[in-house]
Structure 1
């Protein structure tokens, strides 16, 4: 009897081992800061990448893969949480405060560990949400699948920094003195960039970096092969967001969001895939979908409370296919913006909620790049054409691009009557989405830090109706002033400070056509009880009514309570100093000694303002 029970036990144990052995392994390979435009596999103007192309021949090529954010910490948080950052409070780059994961949701590798996977990350995390101890078995520069138990399935993330933005922080003298492997005369320079020697050299140098990372990828794949793991391992290769030439990283255009994605399917599982190996997949996928896809392939339960869905499965399962992707761009280092975008089919709709914050507004780290510096110098000298100069000018509140006909988004179709229906549909779809989340980006960062940091998702649900009303006020920007005026007047007189805040911003978006409200805005600038509302009113008056803002903004800094609040105010200061007509503020570092909290981004602004 005992012998019989032992036999059954051993049989069950062997079955369990067999099932474990049949689980696929996963390796994610991320190259930093490069969009699909830089690889010839996706764009004829890109660099040759033979190792990535070899993966594609044995897998699937995703023509429409998107990071949901154009910068690393927000994008990587979206990847690891499978949640949209504006919903869970993780949407500012270089966080000023950490937030918890949504209740009942874990970073997805924790679910893999629960089913027996060994999870490793080498080595960049850069999350804006608090990480628990159950996510990684090892997250370090030494992390590898090699340290797992014998036969244990694994999930490994490998980030290559070779293509990071910093690789283009070279002295301008390099253009003449340090040759590139890629001939600068052979590279494609998109129409929004000036075709100068500096830009051609910068593109060539970046093509070299793409080829270098391709070699590193080949070496990693060879290691899997040597370890006998290649044919049991799904390999995902993708960029961690778009990159990194000017108007790529940090900006919610195709160049900032459209990433290369190749998934090599191991031979052991190819007969279980409904997709044909080597095919180009047209369905849209976003970073929120990557975690659920791995869980699905691993046979693990996909949790409730996330925003993504699986796009690959073993067997004949018919998974949901979509043709749209949602994106967002907010504070990027010290530079603030509020941009939401929806790509649907061949169209990209971009909603600039603060369109007067022009794209080229100073950001210290961006302007370490010689190409950025030259672009700005050429603009100041009046040497750019209309398309190239747009980066330094006020944007429309709405932009609509046909990215198949206009891949670098230079022709805004929002005012074209032939596209009025498309514009209306996409405007409505985006608005419904923002209200439904709801999107926390309609509160200033310092307010969220003080009131929502402990549980942003719960805060959003509790204030869902208020957020919807803020979005409606912000959307007065897309109406004519005559249509919007009654509701603008109502917003400016509201008892809710954030209604007044967005009412003023909407006025600034309307520009001089909102001049009938100047007296109301003057009263707000001098006497509104909310500091940031006074700042926004002074911003309007400075830009559109020739009212000097220096006294209001200096008092606002004196009244600010935190470094985060002051940094938001300084965004307005830089806008008014560097834009037209230009004002002098002469701030000193001593003006900011009283401020509490994380001063990292504030110090970046002060470095620029006090040393300029």
Structure 2
């Protein structure tokens, strides 16, 4: 009798174990919880003294991993999200401009990564922001549902899921006005820690405090998603990633390839049933660098799926990832190009404790007018103070031309204000960073070495294929652009050769170099005037006018209006208007209002009206 009882008990235990294993999911769930415009600076996890208390995120960290060096590859949402969803660097595909004037295609043979999850049986949901710069065709079949009602709760029983939850509470628009009444005010403006490049005013302090309160508020919403998972008994089968969609949010962060615009919080909750897929104990802080480019590869690896060879990123969790390998990663790469209607071209590199900015058009100062940015009261005040000459040197740098290269020691200078590029004791570091950057942009190859209007006309929207076909040409343009890193006497011969080239883009970059050197390049005034009047390429003529206008060699107004009068393409027109606004903001050039009203290009939709409206405002203000 006793023997039969023991046998029965053993059988029951065996059956329980069998069904327990059978019931356990074969693949883990993954949830991403993102907040907008939110750099690591604003979190108590990263800034213990002045960051926002976020108890729900901190609880995830206690039961997971905190990545001390996590980076968005772009400092603005559409370029950052396009990088994430494709797993390919944006300047390689052509999705690096925010937002697209014409959408482009995914690389041939590559799908947006959630589609691979869906094909493997995952329920894929997105609530709800996409903001991809790819065509609508590329998004078909990616999500089971993408809407404000999308939830993992609609899946089939025991179906693994991938869910993205995006919260807008910390978006820059939340600083356009006062703190919303439903947000608890937890911060004292007198106690905030201002970044050194911001003016110390009541308004800036108020907006700092407001943003800390917004982070505390969004933490409650993050907690509500975690609670749903807990209530559904899913917590120990679900990896929860929390990160900001890029840096920000106050002026000088979002939109700029600086550390404050790119470094984000990254916290990953580790479920008990899948902790074997993580290379460090719960509660660890990881020093190795991770980037948005790595997110797609990481999720596919956690799901046990193959990583397509076209994906540029590397997994930082999952099978095959060791802590030793992870902590050896010490580089991050970033890019900033067109930001709404404002053009620029900056590349960012972090290696170890150093950051390096490569400004390819350094005369395009950061504070150049941008319609949406200047809705923010702090932005307006910053510009007003700069125009009145009421800022310290560090604070006014945002409104001055940059140097082509900037180098910072982030351990000593976390907000990048003390440029070491010209310090002889850092020459070896500078040369190493320069070399890595050159290899990066050539290796992509970086499509920004052809201006956006030219890229869109020539590429048929397939950036990767176009880059491969034109890699030799693009790499030659990189070399021409890098002439601006030499003393003018050494660069002069190369610039002369490029100005005489049959390739319009070589002439284009030669003229950008002349604007970088400024009046030091006065020996080229004659040829620049000829090119401004008669070059076959309108963008080359624009760069010639820009050089002449920035250096005061001639009154550029009639020359630039002549170029605009011949321009029939809205993308090209907006590009040229960036030079008009630069000459207005930097040099006080005045554009005749009647001419603007009668111009055929003033009827274009999209970004062009934003520039026209600003120019009319400037004329009215000065009249």
- Structure 1's 587 and 540: CA in aligned 2 closer, same or farther, altered over 3 A? farther
Helix, strand or coil: the match of 2:165? strand
Aligned to 1:205: 210
Helix, strand or coil: the match of 1:472? helix
Alignment of 1:139-538 (within 5 A): 139-170=146-177, 180-314=185-319, 319=325, 321-538=328-545
Deviation at 1:115, TM superposition (A): 1.1
Distance 1:145 1:155 in 2: 8
Aligned to 2:46: 42
Distance 1:165 1:217 in 2: 19
Deviation at 1:456, TM superposition (A): 1.3
Aligned to 2:106: 101
Distance 2:19 2:114 in 1: 25
User: Which of residues 7, 23, 30 is equivalent to 2:34?
Assistant: 30
Deviation at 1:585, TM superposition (A): 4.5
Distance 1:594 1:426 in 2: 42
After the TM superposition, which of the residue ranges 555-564 and 349-358 deviates more from structure 2? 555-564
Deviation at 1:337, TM superposition (A): 0.2
Q: Is the 8 A contact 1:117 1:154 kept in 2?
A: yes
Helix, strand or coil: the match of 1:95? coil
Distance 1:610 1:229 in 2: 57
Distance 1:543 1:36 in 2: 37
User: Which of residues 589, 599, 602 is equivalent to 2:608?
Assistant: 602
Deviation at 1:591, TM superposition (A): 4.3
User: Which of residues 75, 84, 88 is equivalent to 2:89?
Assistant: 84
Deviation at 1:272, TM superposition (A): 4.5
Distance 2:305 2:595 in 1: 56
Aligned to 2:8: none
Q: Is the 8 A contact 1:588 1:610 kept in 2?
A: no
Deviation at 1:527, TM superposition (A): 1.3
- Structure 1's 505 and 315: CA in aligned 2 closer, same or farther, altered over 3 A? closer
Distance 1:587 1:161 in 2: 41
Deviation at 1:270, TM superposition (A): 2.1
Q: Is the 8 A contact 2:25 2:237 kept in 1?
A: no
After the TM superposition, which of the residue ranges 51-60 and 443-452 deviates more from structure 2? 443-452
Deviation at 1:69, TM superposition (A): 0.1
Aligned to 2:567: 560
Q: Is the 8 A contact 2:525 2:553 kept in 1?
A: no
Distance 2:60 2:243 in 1: 12
Distance 1:89 1:128 in 2: 9
- Structure 1's 419 and 482: CA in aligned 2 closer, same or farther, altered over 3 A? same
Helix, strand or coil: the match of 1:355? coil
Distance 2:75 2:594 in 1: 31
Deviation at 1:165, TM superposition (A): 0.6
Deviation at 1:587, TM superposition (A): 6.3
Deviation at 1:269, TM superposition (A): 1.6
Deviation at 1:522, TM superposition (A): 1.2
Deviation at 1:40, TM superposition (A): 0.9
Helix, strand or coil: the match of 2:407? strand
Q: Is the 8 A contact 2:125 2:144 kept in 1?
A: yes
Distance 1:595 1:103 in 2: 37
> Could you report, residue by residue, the CA deviation over 1:300-335 in whole angstroms, capped at 9, with x for unpaired residues?
111111110101114775655410011000000000
> Could you report, residue by residue, the CA deviation over 1:197-235 in whole angstroms, capped at 9, with x for unpaired residues?
000001001111101111110111111101111111000
User: Which of residues 63, 69, 72 is equivalent to 2:68?
Assistant: 63
Alignment of 1:540-559 (within 5 A): 540-559=547-566
Q: Is the 8 A contact 2:32 2:163 kept in 1?
A: yes
Q: Is the 8 A contact 1:98 1:453 kept in 2?
A: no
Aligned to 1:4: none
Distance 1:72 1:17 in 2: 41
Distance 1:317 1:382 in 2: 53
- Structure 1's 535 and 60: CA in aligned 2 closer, same or farther, altered over 3 A? same
> Over aligned residue pairs, what C-alpha RMSD do you find?
2.0
Aligned residues: 595
Distance 1:192 1:337 in 2: 20
TM-score, normalization by structure 2: 0.92
Helix, strand or coil: the match of 2:204? helix
Distance 1:108 1:608 in 2: 40
Distance 2:291 2:20 in 1: 34
Deviation at 1:243, TM superposition (A): 1.1
- Structure 1's 572 and 461: CA in aligned 2 closer, same or farther, altered over 3 A? same
After the TM superposition, which of the residue ranges 585-594 and 332-341 deviates more from structure 2? 585-594
> Could you report, residue by residue, the CA deviation over 1:2-44 in whole angstroms, capped at 9, with x for unpaired residues?
xxxxxxxxx9xx9999487131100000000010000010113
Distance 1:543 1:252 in 2: 24
Helix, strand or coil: the match of 1:491? helix
Deviation at 1:594, TM superposition (A): 4.7
Distance 1:594 1:552 in 2: 16
> Could you report, residue by residue, the CA deviation over 1:397-433 in whole angstroms, capped at 9, with x for unpaired residues?
0000111110000000000001101100110111111
Structure 1 residue ranges without an equivalent (≥5)? 1-10
Distance 2:401 2:171 in 1: 29
Q: Is the 8 A contact 1:86 1:441 kept in 2?
A: yes
Distance 1:487 1:236 in 2: 49
Deviation at 1:545, TM superposition (A): 3.4
Q: Is the 8 A contact 2:602 2:612 kept in 1?
A: no
Deviation at 1:600, TM superposition (A): 1.2
> Could you report, residue by residue, the CA deviation over 1:101-131 in whole angstroms, capped at 9, with x for unpaired residues?
1011111001111111000000000000122
Distance 1:245 1:138 in 2: 33
User: Which of residues 123, 127, 135 is equivalent to 1:122?
Assistant: 127
- Structure 1's 16 and 553: CA in aligned 2 closer, same or farther, altered over 3 A? farther
